Amino acid sequence: MKIFLDTANMDEIKKANSIGVIDGVTTNPSLIAKEGGDFIQTFYDICELVNGPVSAETIAQDTQGMVREGELLSQIHEHIVIKLPLTTAGLAACKQLTDRGIKTNVTLCFQASQALLAAKAGATYISPFLGRLDDISHDGVGLIRDIAHIYDNYGMKTEILAASIRHPKHFVDVALAGADVATIPANVFWKLFNHPLTDSGNTRFLHDWSTVPNNNIEQQVQEWLKNRI
Ligand code: E4P
pLDDT for 37 equals: 93
Look at the domain 2-191 and name its fold: TIM Barrel (3.20.20)
Are 3 and 162 in contact, with CB atoms under 8 Å apart? Answer: no
Among protein residues, the one whose CA lies closest to atom 6 of ligand 1: 164
Q: What is the pLDDT of residues 30-51, one digit of tens each?
A: 999 999 999 999 999 999 999 9
Model confidence at 229, pLDDT cuts 50, 70, 90, reads confident
User: How far is residue 180's CA from residue 182's CA, in Å, rounded to a whole number?
Assistant: 7
pLDDT for 96 equals: 98
Q: What is the pLDDT of residues 94-143, one digit of tens each?
A: 999 999 999 999 999 999 999 999 999 999 999 999 999 999 999 999 99
User: How far is residue 87's CA from residue 114's CA, in Å, rounded to a whole number?
Assistant: 9
Query: Which residues are known catalytic residues?
Result: 83
Q: What is the pTM of this model?
A: 0.95
Q: Where are the domains of the chain?
A: 2-191, 196-228
**Mutate which of 129, 159, 180, 181 for ligand 1 pocket (most atoms within 8 A of beta carbon):** 129
Residue 163 Cα to ligand 1 middle (Å) = 5
